[in-house]
Amino acid sequence: MSPSKHFEPAAARAAEEVGAKGRAAEIYRCVFDAVVDQRLPPGAKLAEEQLGTLFDASRTLVRSALQALAHDHIVTIERHRGAFVSAPTPADARDIFFSRRLVESAITLEAAPKIARADIAELRRLLDGEGRALHVGDRQAAIRLSGAFHMAIAGVIGEGALTRFLGGLISRSSLVIALYGRGPASACGHDEHGAVVDALAAHDGPRAAALMADHLDHILADLSLIRRDDAPVDVAEILTAQRRRV
Model confidence pLDDT, tens digit, residues 127-167: 999 999 888 888 777 878 888 999 999 999 998 888 888 98
Residue ranges in the chain modelled with pLDDT below 70: 1-20, 182-189, 227-231, 246
Q: Provide CATH code, domain 3-87+230-245.
A: 1.10.10.10
Cβ–Cβ < 8 Å for 66, 202: no
CA distances from 229 to 16, 91, 160, 202 (A): 43, 17, 39, 47
Segment (H or E) for 175: helix 161-180
Q: What is the pTM of this model?
A: 0.73
CATH topology (fold) of 90-221: Four Helix Bundle (Hemerythrin (Met), subunit A) (1.20.120)
**Topology agreement, domain 3-87+230-245 and domain 90-221:** no
For residues 192-225, b (16+ Cβ closer than 10 Å) or e, as one string? bbbbbbebbbeebbebbbbbbbebbeebbebbee
Per-residue pLDDT at 20: 57
Per-residue pLDDT at 211: 97
Distance of alpha carbon 133 from alpha carbon 138, whole angstroms: 5
pLDDT of 93-116, one tens digit each? 999 999 999 999 999 999 999 999
DSSP string covering 226-242: SPPPP----HHHHHHHH
Instruction: List the one residue out of 48, 90, 27 whose CA is nearest residue 240.
Output: 27
